[in-house]
Amino acid sequence: MEKPRKARQAEKSPFLGMG
């Protein structure tokens, strides 16, 4: 949750948010 860009990707790809 550092940048808003990562949060957007995590929404589409739960794997990115996990790893």
pLDDT in tens, 1-19: 566 666 566 566 666 656 5
Task: State if pTM tops 0.85.
Answer: no
- Identify the pLDDT of residue 13: 64
- Identify the pLDDT of residue 10: 57
- Identify the pLDDT of residue 4: 60
> What are the Cα distances from residue 12, in Å, to 1, 7, 15, 18?
14, 9, 9, 12
